[in-house]
Amino acid sequence: MSTAMRTCILGGEIARRSWLGLSRPVLTAWALSIGAALAIYLLGGGQAWTIATALALLAVVFATTMEWRDKPSLAARRAHDLRNWSRTRRGEHTYRNPDDPAHGDPALDPGWAFPPPLGNTAPLAVAGTGLDDMFIVRTANPGERPYYSVTVAVDGIADGLRGDAAYAAMSAAFGSFLAQMARTSSHVRGLQLLHRSVPHDMTRHTRWAHTRVKRLRDARLLPAVESYGTLIDTLAPLAEEHRTFVVLRFPQTEAFMADTARLARSKNAPIAGGIAQVVRDETERATRLLAMAGMGRVDVLGERRMCAVIRALLDPSFAIDRHRNATWNTCWPSYIGGRDCVAVGTDPRWWTRVGHIRPRAIEPVALGPLWLAPLLTGVDADPGDDDIAPTPTIRTLSVRMDFVPAHRARAATKGDVTADQARKAKEREKGKLDDGSTEVLADASERRRQDLMPGSGHHGVVYTASIAVTGRGPDDLDRACLRVTEAAGESAITEIDWCSGDHDVAMFTTLPLARGLAATPHTR
C-alpha cells in the first residue's frame, strides 16, 4: 500500500492583516504625527498657520512612511542608507584576521578583535564543569533575549531510489521532531537549518581508483579504465558536496534559568555548569529524535569542528572538515563589505552576496517534501571560460524557525480567521470582486485553524530564510546569483531580496549562530 506524498502550503500570507495593511512602525509613526498635528492646532489657537503646519506635517509623514507594494518606505530607505554610511565611517564593514598582512595597519585595519556583526557573542566558559567537550555559544545582543546555541551535523536524507511513500514518511518523522521540540517541556525554542553546497574534493576517490588500477593484470580492462578516468576528469570540476547542520536555540527564559539553578545547587557546581548540563540534556534528546527521524548520522560539534565550519562557510578555501588549527579567536577570515557584495580573504579570493527569502515570497501552492530540491541540489554549475575553470555554485541556505506555543498560535489564528471572514462578508455584501487576495488570506488562516485544533499535537512557527552565494570574482558572482534565482523560481520562490550595502552583516545570518529572525509578540 502506498502513502500519498505529504504536502503543505507555506505561502499564503500575501498581505498584512493590520489596519490598511501597513506595518506596525508605520502605524505608530502616523499615530504620533496625528497627535503632534492636533497639539500644534490646539496650542496655536486654531489659526490659519497652525492648520497649514499641521497639514504639512501630516503630508510629509505620509509621503515618507507610506509603503507601496510591500517595498520599504522612503524613510526606511534613508534610515538604512544613513546606518550604512555610519557603519562605513566607523570601519564596521572591515575586519582583518591576525594572519592578514594588513593586520595592525591603521590605514587598512580598524582594529576589531572580532567582526563587529558578532556583537556580544562568545563561547560559554565550561572548563572545569565536567562538560568540557560541550561547545555552547552565548549571544546577548541588545534588543533580544540572551540565548545559547549548539550546532549538530546531520547526514540528512540521501537521494536515490526513493518513492513518494518514503519521502512522506521522512517528512512526517521530521514534523514529529519539530512538534517534540516545540512542547512547553522543552527548552529548545527555535532551530536553524543550514545547507552548504561546495565543490566536491575527488582526491580520495582518485587515490582509491589508482590503487585499484595498480592491482589489475588483465590488459583487456585498460579501455574501461581509461574511460573511467576520462569520466572522473569531466565530472570532478562539476561535482558538488552537500553538508547539513541543525542549530538548537535555547533562550534564557525564567524556566531555563530555574532548571539551571536547581542543577547547579544539587551538584554544587557553578552556574555555567548548570547551564551546560541543561543544554547537554536537551541536546542529547534532540539528537536522539533526529536519528529516529531518519536524519542519518548525528554529531554534536565541539569547538574546533564548529569553528572549522564557520571558517569554511565564510572562506571556501578552507575545507569544512579541516579543523586542526581552528579556534574561536582565529576562525574569522578578513573581509571588506561593499554595496553589492562582501570581499572575503586577504587577496581577496572570494566575493559573497546575501539575500533574504521572506515568507511572502513563497507561492501559496501545495508543496511536497522535495519542493526546495532545485535550490538545494539543482543549481547549475558555472561552465567557466578561457580564464576561469568550471565549478559548482557555492551557496549556503539558512532557514531560521521560532516555535510558537499552541495556545498562542490558536489565539492568533482565531483573530485572523475572524478578520478574514468579516472581510469576505463585507466584500460580498458590496458586490466587490477582488483579485483573489482576500480568498488566499482566508484559506491560509483557515488551514492554520484546522492544523492547530486541540489534540493535533501541532504548534505554531514563524520562519525566514537567507541565502549566501559566493563567486570567484564580481562577474562570476553575478552569474552565480542568476543561476540561484532561476533555481529559486523552480522552488516556488518568487523573489530573493538581495541586500544592499550590508552584505557583511547579513552574511552572519547564514552562519550556525541561530540568527536572522526578530522576536514577535508570539515568540517572546
3-state helix/strand/coil string of 432-487 = CCCCCHHHHHHHHHHHHHHHCCCCCCCCEEEEEEEEEEEECCHHHHHHHHHHHHHH
189 Cβ neighbours under 8 A, 6+ residues apart = 147, 249, 250, 251, 253, 402, 403, 523
Share of the chain above pLDDT 70, in %: 91
pLDDT band at 23 (very low <50, low <70, confident <90, very high): confident
Lowest mean pLDDT among 228-242, 451-465, 503-517: 228-242
Q: What is the mean pLDDT of the chain?
A: 86
Q: Considering just the CA atoms, what is the radius of gyration of the chain in Å?
A: 26
Per-residue pLDDT at 5: 61
8 Å CB contact between 107 and 91? no
Read off the pLDDT of each residue in 443-453 and give the average, rounded to a whole number: 82
Max mean pLDDT range (117-121, 180-184, 514-518): 117-121
Q: How far apart are the first and last CA of the chain?
A: 44
- Angle of CA points 305, 310, 311, to nearest 5°: 95
Examine the pLDDT at 161 and tell me if it is beyond 60.
no
pLDDT band at 287 (very low <50, low <70, confident <90, very high): very high
Residue 331 to residues 113, 318, 362, 508: CA-CA distances in angstroms? 12, 10, 34, 13
pLDDT band at 20 (very low <50, low <70, confident <90, very high): low
Examine the pLDDT at 3 and tell me if it is beyond 80.
no
Tens of pLDDT, residue by residue over 48-99, are: 888 899 899 999 988 888 877 667 888 888 988 999 999 999 999 999 999 8
Which DSSP state fits 320?
A: T
Examine the pLDDT at 383 and tell me if it is beyond 70.
yes
What are the helix (H) ranges across 321-471?
A: 373-377, 406-430, 437-451
Tell me the pTM.
Answer: 0.87
Max mean pLDDT range (18-32, 382-396, 397-411): 397-411
Query: Could you give the 3-state DSSP secondary structure of residue 367?
Result: strand
State the DSSP string of 192-243.
Answer: EEEEEEEE---HHHHHHHHHHHHT---GGGHHHHHHHHHHHHHHGGG-EEEE
Read off the pLDDT of each residue in 499-506 and give the average, rounded to a whole number: 92
8 Å CB contact between 247 and 512? yes
Show the cell assigned to 2.
502506498
**524 or 34, which is more confident?**
34
Per-residue pLDDT at 342: 95
Helix (H) or strand (E) holding 147: strand 147-154
Read off the pLDDT of each residue in 308-320 and give the average, rounded to a whole number: 94
* Number of other CB atoms surrounding residue 155 within 10 Å: 16
Count, in order, helices (H) and strands (E) of the chain.
14, 13
